[in-house]
A and B are shown apart, each in its own frame.
Chain A
Amino acid sequence: MNEQDRTQLSDAMRWALDSAADPSMASADWLAMDIDPSRRSAVALLTDAHVSLSQLRKAKSVYKTMRLVGETAADRRLGARLYTAAIAAALVRHGRRISRQSDAALRRAFRSVMDDESVPQDLREMADKALFVLDEMP
């Protein structure tokens, strides 16, 4: 087992720490890192100015599934918020809709993210910008 393998083993200790501190956010972060190992968190992935549309589609998909199959109610609620945040990021960063939901449904979802104080501030701001972009779309 070489140095890289040892470092990967040390990651296991960090997983235990992260999961104990906030299990739902830890799970969301692991899903983000599974999409792009260079990102260290869900927030980092969804708010990065250079995130690709393909990555945002994957993020939307994994958080949609988390919303449905999350182990706890907190997981499912966070999954729903991050699912919405991925749609918002696609609008803000790429000017593209990656959802077939109606404008009205998207507006409600973005507002619910903005009003949820448990959601990280960067994502709430992303939802706010997405609302603006949606309003400006033809």
Chain B
Amino acid sequence: MPFDFSYSGPEDRGKDSGAWQTDWSMIFRAVHGDEAPAAEAWDQLARRYWPAIYAYIRSSGRDIHQASDLTQAFVCDVMVRRQLLESADPTRGRFRTLLMTALKNYLVEQHRFATRRKRLPRDGRLLELDREGGPALQIPAEATPETAFSAQWGATLVRRVLEQVRAECQAQELGTHWQVFEARVVSPMMLGGAPEDYGLLVRRLGLRDAAQASNMMVTVKRRFARALFEAVSGTVGSPDEVDDELRALRRALERPG
């Protein structure tokens, strides 16, 4: 069975229509674009970062309902009303860091005033953030909010890039390549379990032999690796920071505690 990338239900599939854009270009469009494109960019950014924001808040000790409400409130209060995006500047570092710092300050403020406010974004719509099933990544209770945020953001990035590469493979008549990659890499990575046996895979897909299948898997894995590198490039201030960011996300995923 093909892996379903949406972890909140089929209704979410395809909502991140900006999957091919870098975060910085999307932020620019959200701040400087015309009303409709700006609203769309804002919406995509909010969806993209929602799981990481939620993970941070959950790891700060809030229950599911509080975390869901606070995620909604942070996105509306800080990302929109306080023009967080306008203060985002690629030359001043990673957007992930800026967002995390703003979130940390916001939670301190919320705790201080012990109030919970729900605000509407500028176009008057509330995001549908209360997603069935919640985030797929289980963060250990001992994880710091910062690590939880980074781990969830890393997982979100991987999912988004997988979706992007799948679409590219299908568009470029590499559908069989994708099926091999999915059976050997994606399904074990996202769902657990062993990769499908090459003998079965070769028969199922009508391939020449296991060597051909293995090389097809590597072709897509390389595309995925390249796309992930580019996606991370779009979230940092300079090309020099990409390696560090990838290592930081890797550490967060390996040791979320």
CB <8 Å contact, B214 and A31: yes
CB <8 Å contact, A65 and B190: no
Q: From known contacts A17-B243, A65-B212, infer whether A6 and B225 are also in contact, taking CB-CB under 8 Å.
A: no
CB <8 Å contact, A34 and B211: no
Verify if B74 is at the interface (C-beta below 8 Å from A).
no
Cα A10 to Cα B190 in complex, Å, equals 11
Q: From known contacts A15-B225, A15-B228, A26-B225, infer whether A9 and B219 are also in contact, taking CB-CB under 8 Å.
A: no
Contact of B192 among A4, A18, A65 (CB under 8 A): A4
Cα A62 to Cα B209 in complex, Å, equals 10
Cα A27 to Cα B249 in complex, Å, equals 22
Q: From known contacts A9-B158, A62-B214, infer whether A2 and B192 are also in contact, taking CB-CB under 8 Å.
A: yes
Chain B residues contacting A13 (CB-CB under 8 Å) are 154, 228, 246-247, 249-250, 253
Verify if A102 is at the interface (C-beta below 8 Å from B).
no
Cα A9 to Cα B156 in complex, Å, equals 10
CB <8 Å contact, B188 and A8: yes
Q: From known contacts A15-B224, A16-B225, A20-B229, infer whether A31 and B218 are also in contact, taking CB-CB under 8 Å.
A: yes
Smallest Cβ-Cβ distance to A35: which chain B residue: B214
Smallest Cβ-Cβ distance to B217: which chain A residue: A34
Cα A136 to Cα B131 in complex, Å, equals 69
Smallest Cβ-Cβ distance to B230: which chain A residue: A16
Cα A14 to Cα B251 in complex, Å, equals 10
Verify if B222 is at the interface (C-beta below 8 Å from A).
yes
Contact of A62 among B136, B215, B224, B232 (CB under 8 A): B215
CB <8 Å contact, A19 and B211: no
**B218–chain A nearest beta-carbon distance, Å:** 5
Chain B residues contacting A23 (CB-CB under 8 Å) are 222, 226
Verify if A137 is at the interface (C-beta below 8 Å from B).
no
Verify if B76 is at the interface (C-beta below 8 Å from A).
no
Q: From known contacts A9-B155, A12-B158, A62-B214, infer whether A27 and B189 are also in contact, taking CB-CB under 8 Å.
A: no
Chain A residues contacting B218 (CB-CB under 8 Å) are 27, 30-31, 34, 66
Verify if B151 is at the interface (C-beta below 8 Å from A).
yes
Verify if A93 is at the interface (C-beta below 8 Å from B).
no
Cα A15 to Cα B246 in complex, Å, equals 10
**B15–chain A nearest beta-carbon distance, Å:** 21
Cα A66 to Cα B246 in complex, Å, equals 28
Verify if A7 is at the interface (C-beta below 8 Å from B).
yes
Chain A residues contacting B221 (CB-CB under 8 Å) are 15, 27, 30
List chain B positions with a Cβ less than 8 A from chain A.
Answer: 136-138, 140, 151, 154-155, 158, 184, 188-190, 192, 209-212, 214-215, 217-219, 221-222, 224-226, 228-229, 232, 242-243, 246-247, 249-251, 253-254, 256
